[in-house]
Amino acid sequence: MTWLWSLLLLGLGLGKGAWGKPPPDTGVPLSSRVHQQAPLSEAKHDDAHGDFQFDHEAFLGREAAREFDQLSPEESKARLGRIVDRMDRDGDADGWVSLDELRAWISHTQQRHIRDSVTAAWDTYDTDRDGRVGWGELRNITYGHYQPGEEFSDVEDAETYKKLLARDERRFRAADQDGDLQATREEFTAFLHPEEFPHMRDTVIAVRMQETLEDLDKNGDGYVQVEEYIADLYSPEAEGGEEPAWVQTERQQFRDFRDLNGDGHLDGHEVGHWVLPPAQDQPLVEANHLLQESDTDKDGRLSKQEILGNWNMFVGSQATNYGEDLTRHHDEL
């Protein structure tokens, strides 16, 4: 996830059309603490069997890939030709598609859902319609209106709500680059999707590290001990009986992969490495794959003719969709 910040979950996720306070944080499962990089496609990467759905969704984005599946081969190739022209035009306009231009295009298409989510949220949070989302607007819509010093005085678990509010404010201030507490659309996008902004990575790691330490460091020594790590996953009082084998596996994971310096606990750096591991440049990997499969003269760049000559790897059509369906049906027999 892409992960979604608590604001997105608490605001956009309300299904009854009324804004309300978030539910208390009852403990984040371990898997929810670790940022999982979203794949370019949920489809299997299975070029060897003529199934290019992964490549289609990576190159076009999932919605556009489904649209291309309904086109005739002629129209699909014609649209691909226009995309090739745009990729080169957005780059150095030298008549070729380079690896960098291909990677930039894939990154652009993969971020379309991010732009759509920001557009959907913008009108809700920009209540005064001034073209910015202020911290006050965001706070009041998400948590309700309170006078200073009276925050959450009407709820039982006020401290939990105060912690959530403080976390959202830290994230907002990190995204608000000019410090005026008024988020532009770009800053608001960085708040909702910080993993997509290189300038946010150090801040995201610091925030996630602090939040994880706040939740797990029960003895307040500034570290996550192995028992604190396990307690976030497993409660012997609640589960009862003998400790499951998977818990022992997690203890080994802690020793072998989490505790990088082998001192028996996790410091801030190790917590940051755990909850936000270094990300693979997926658009670059896919761009390399498409270039290697289509670069017939092996000059390290793609001509329009080379891309159109391998068009069914880049985009689908009624014909390729039918062929993939036949392949799947044959494999099921």
134-162 per-position pLDDT tens digit: 999 999 999 998 888 888 988 888 888 99
What does the block give as tokens for 228? 């604190």
**Whether the predicted pLDDT of 16 surpasses 80:** no
Helix (H, G, I), strand (E, B) or coil at 293: helix
Q: Are residues 141 and 160 in the same domain?
A: yes
**pLDDT mean over 57-78:** 93
Q: Are residues 96 and 236 in the same domain?
A: no
CA–CA separation, 115 and 118 (whole Å): 5
The answer to whether residue 57 is domain-embedded is no
Q: In this predicted structure, what is the pLDDT of residue 310?
A: 96
Tens-digit pLDDT profile for residues 305-325: 999 999 999 998 876 554 444
Q: How far from chain centre, in Å, is Cα 7?
A: 15
Tens-digit pLDDT profile for residues 194-215: 877 877 877 777 877 888 888 8
List Cβ neighbours of 116 (8 Å cut-off, separation of 6 or more): none
CA–CA separation, 243 and 66 (whole Å): 47
**Whether the predicted pLDDT of 275 surpasses 70:** yes
Radius of gyration of the chain (CA): 24
Q: Poorest-confidence range of 38-47, 133-142, 165-174, 223-232? A: 38-47
List Cβ neighbours of 253 (8 Å cut-off, separation of 6 or more): none
Beta bridge partners, 240, equal: none
Residue ending a domain, choose from 251, 266, 281: 266
Beta bridge partners, 37, equal: none
Q: Are residues 245 and 117 in the same domain?
A: no
Neighbour-count burial for 80-114, b at 16+ CB within 10 Å, e otherwise: beebbeebbeebeeeebbbbebbbebbbebbbeee
> The domain containing residue 234 runs over which residues?
224-266
The answer to whether residue 277 is domain-embedded is yes
